[in-house]
Amino acid sequence: MILFIRTLFVLAVLLVLGGSAAVFWHMENRLPPLSYNEFLTILEKDEVAEVRLQGGQISLKDTFGREFATYSPDVQALLPSLLEKGIPIYGRPDHSSSLLLLAELVVPVMLILLVWYSILRRQTAEESDADGKDGKGRFSPQQMRNPVTFRDVAGVPEAKEELLEVIDFLQRPKKYSRLGAVIPRGILFQGPPGTGKTLLARAIAGEAGVPFFSISGSDFVEMFVGVGASRVRELFKEAKKQTPCIVFIDEIDAVGGRRSAGNMAGGQDERGQTLNALLVEMDGFATDDTIIILAATNRPDILDPALLRPGRFDRQITILPPDIKGRLQILQVYATKLKLSDKIDLETVARNTPGFTGAELASLMNEAALIAGRTGDSAIRPEHVEAAKDRILMGVERKGLVISEKDRRTMAYHEAGHAILARSLPETDPIHKITIIPRGKALGHTQQLPLTDRHAYTREYLLSRIKILMGGRASEEICLNQQTTGAEDDFRQAVDLATKMVCQWGMTDNIGPMSYIRDDGDFLGEQLSRNAYSEETGQSIDREVKGLVESCYREAKEILTAEKDFLVYLADMLLVNETLDHEEMEIVYECTSKKRLESGAGNPSDDGTLCSVSSAV
Ligand code: ADP
Ligand code: ZN
């Protein structure tokens, strides 16, 4: 629709330009007038060279090359004498040029009016009832053929508990209004994407059996100022017709972002108007309007405080990625829908997927089903789930990528470096898998999986993490005496972590227990805490971060130098097998120790024999 209007608008502008050009052209061509008598005189003097006739109008060129125009009361009578003198005559159909001009101007003006009208129509929410083709308006509750219920949402027991009351209210509003109780109008779900906020909102509607209106915050923000506000009014008008009902606003931060003073860009203005309209609607509910507004955001920190005031979204429910029990429950929900082999132990899957959100678990199971389908299996087996997990965590395997032997070697040493540090440092997550099969952006991967979900990270853990990240480059330097670009992402993550340790988590002595939040992305033109510290502090932060990362790098290098034989061995094994899991890595370690014992402190790879792991895999 917008595109259509835009095209229309451009067309109109072009036509107006064309029209005016045509007018000017006509003016340019307007010849000096000549009286009919004068014309006859010139004709008699045989000074006419050429004549153009159009209607009663005569344009002529005389023998000196001058051009004139005149008007003849009776052209027919003139023709014989022109013919007699042998003057060339050019006739033109009698389009009155004024008519042409009129058309050229009227059409674009009408077009512009049309565009204007459609914009006006879009802006006036009152008129847009006729807009929807189904006669129901733009907003109609979503058809719930298979309503989602609480049974489909797993792993969020606290949220469900809180929402039971809301469902009861939607089903029996009288029970509460009789007592004079005011039920919260707005409930805000906050949490990372994919944790099931939308699903939960749907489930409430499904459980209560009420219509569900849904819109996303970004739908409100459009190119025309004022459209967002009218959409809000339109939405609530529809909703009020069908009470009791649920209105769900996804990504509310798109409209409800903090209205910052000062730098009000055009988009901000539109957002402000939309937000105001939303607030007005929320405040304007009659007590007997049984409408519950649910909203979801993953950026609660940037919401305008006006939204969170009592009577608006005064109830907030935080939904976090599920813990192992939650993951198991979610997996069980999907297990009923899929064909799993008996070998799959959902508890193992749950344990091996820390940090996965509901959406990621759903896509894990779906991906596994797809892989099983592709390989022609009749049920999903553990290896399908494992392959699906690799795909989700590390990206699609890049089978077509041709990697030179030299690059493979680099990757093998790089990953072996990460892995050995992960194995030998304190407070690290166990290695799950090392691979030099390129996936996604990376050429190799060392995957660690925590035994349990971690909620708070110790300084020790974070330091180990940075050292592990440094291990890739350190190993390349020790064994291959080279620096490659492969460490780019490792460094970025390490510096990120170190910066947070210094600025946010108060983990260094020189800066101390302070919080200096560095500019995180300048979201929505906010300038929250930039320059919240002096330049001097800034410099010592930089020094501290650098020192931290560098000391980690040094230590990583020391450890790897001490374990060089293990490193070389592990890299060799990786080159042969491409992927090693936890047990295989342990076997390599045992072999290294054995060789060490046998040959004193000698380097085991010197004798050229490889450990027996290669055949074991
Ligand atoms: P959000 O709105 O928080 O971004 P969604 O509700 O859109 O997340 O979740 C996307 C999909 O992930 C859902 O359709 C559902 O398939 C799955 N999902 C997410 N959380 C859960 C959960 N707790 N239980 C079951 N499925 C879930
Ligand atoms: Zn790396």
Find the 40 Cα to ligand 2 centroid distance in Å: 98
- Residue 400 inside a domain? The answer is no
pLDDT for the residue 215 = 84
Find the 469 Cα to ligand 2 centroid distance in Å: 6
Helix (H, G, I), strand (E, B) or coil at 224: coil
127 pLDDT more than 60 = no
pLDDT for the residue 214 = 87
For residues 268 and 207, the model is more confident at 207
Give yes or no for residue 330 CB within 6 A of ligand 1.
yes
Helix (H, G, I), strand (E, B) or coil at 63: coil
Residues 86 and 155 in one domain: no
Can you give the CATH number for the domain in which 368 is found?
Answer: 1.10.8.60
Residues 410 and 448 in one domain: yes
Cβ-count burial 52-81 (b if 16+ within 10 Å, e if not): bbbeebbbbbbeeeeebbbebeebeebeee
Residues 311 and 380 in one domain: no
323 pLDDT more than 80 = yes
Which of these is catalytic: 415, 476, 555, 563? 415
DSSP strands (E only) in 10-56: 48-54
Residues 270 and 366 in one domain: no
Give yes or no for residue 190 CB within 6 A of ligand 1.
no
Average pLDDT over residues 31-38: 79
The structure's pTM equals 0.64
Q: Which of 335, 370, 394 is the last residue of a domain?
A: 394
Find the 415 Cα to ligand 2 centroid distance in Å: 6
Average pLDDT over residues 194-207: 90
Residues 166 and 293 in one domain: yes
Residue whose Cα lies nearest atom 27 of ligand 1: it is 358
Helix (H, G, I), strand (E, B) or coil at 247: strand
415 catalytically annotated: yes
Can you give the CATH number for the domain in which 19 is found?
Answer: 3.30.720.210
| Pairing assessment for the beta strands 445-448 and 431-435 based on DSSP bridges | antiparallel
pLDDT for the residue 27 = 53
Residues 541, 512 contacting (CB under 8 angstroms): no
Q: Residue for token digits 């023709």?
A: 79
Cβ-count burial 517-531 (b if 16+ within 10 Å, e if not): eeeeeeebebeeeee
pLDDT for the residue 604 = 46
Confidence of residue 612 (pLDDT cuts 50, 70, 90): very low
Give yes or no for residue 199 CB within 6 A of ligand 1.
yes
Give yes or no for residue 155 CB within 6 A of ligand 1.
yes
Average the pLDDT over each of 19-23, 157-161, 350-354, 511-515 and give the range with the smallest value: 19-23
Which ligand has the nearest atom to the CA of 445? 2
Find the 193 Cα to ligand 1 centroid distance in Å: 9
- Residue 309: CB atoms within 10 A of its CB come to 14
Which ligand has the nearest atom to the CA of 444? 2
Confidence of residue 129 (pLDDT cuts 50, 70, 90): very low
Residues 158 and 276 in one domain: yes
Residues 216 and 271 in one domain: yes
Percentage of the chain beyond pLDDT 70 is 80
527 pLDDT more than 50 = no
pLDDT for the residue 573 = 92
Which ligand has the nearest atom to the CA of 327? 1
Residues 192, 251 contacting (CB under 8 angstroms): no
CA 458 to CA 470: how far, in whole Å? 19
The tally of domains found in the chain comes to: 4
Q: Which of 337, 372, 394 is the last residue of a domain?
A: 394
Find the 209 Cα to ligand 1 centroid distance in Å: 20
Residues 203 and 225 in one domain: yes
Tell me the pLDDT tens digit for each residue of 555-576.
999 999 999 999 999 999 999 9
Give yes or no for residue 328 CB within 6 A of ligand 1.
no
Q: Which of 285, 302, 318 is the last residue of a domain?
A: 318
pLDDT for the residue 607 = 42
Average pLDDT over residues 161-176: 84
Can you give the CATH number for the domain in which 259 is found?
Answer: 3.40.50.300
Average pLDDT of the chain is 80
**Which of 5-9, 330-334, 396-400 ranks highest by mean pLDDT?**
330-334
CA 306 to CA 295: how far, in whole Å? 14
Residues 438 and 556 in one domain: yes
166 pLDDT more than 90 = no
Tell me the pLDDT tens digit for each residue of 573-586.
999 988 898 999 99
Average pLDDT over residues 335-359: 87
Which range of residues forms the domain containing residue 155?
A: 150-318
CA 260 to CA 268: how far, in whole Å? 9
Average pLDDT over residues 596-602: 69
In DSSP notation, 534-559 reads -HHHHHHHHHHHHHHHHHHHHHHHHH
pLDDT for the residue 397 = 75
Tell me the pLDDT tens digit for each residue of 374-390.
999 889 999 999 899 88
Percentage of the chain beyond pLDDT 90 is 23
Q: CA of 598: how far to CAs of 3, 121, 134, 201, in Å?
A: 77, 88, 84, 66
On the CB side of 224, CA atoms within 13 Å amount to 19
49 pLDDT more than 70 = yes
pLDDT for the residue 366 = 93
Residue whose Cα lies nearest atom 11 of ligand 1: it is 359
Partnered with residue 67 across adjacent β-strands are: 61
For residues 546 and 36, the model is more confident at 546
For residues 57 and 593, the model is more confident at 593
Residues 412 and 536 in one domain: yes
120 pLDDT more than 80 = no
**Which of 96-105, 153-162, 253-262, 265-274 ranks highest by mean pLDDT?**
153-162
Give yes or no for residue 205 CB within 6 A of ligand 1.
no
- Residue 126 inside a domain? The answer is no
Residue whose Cα lies nearest atom 7 of ligand 1: it is 198
Helix (H, G, I), strand (E, B) or coil at 404: coil
Structure tokens at 242: 């069908």
Q: If we measure between CA atoms, which residue out of 571, 601, 576 comes closest to residue 471?
A: 571
Confidence of residue 216 (pLDDT cuts 50, 70, 90): confident
For a pocket test of ligand 1, which of 158, 160, 189, 199 has the largest count of ligand atoms closer than 8 A to its C-beta? 199
Residues 165 and 281 in one domain: yes
Residues 312 and 330 in one domain: no
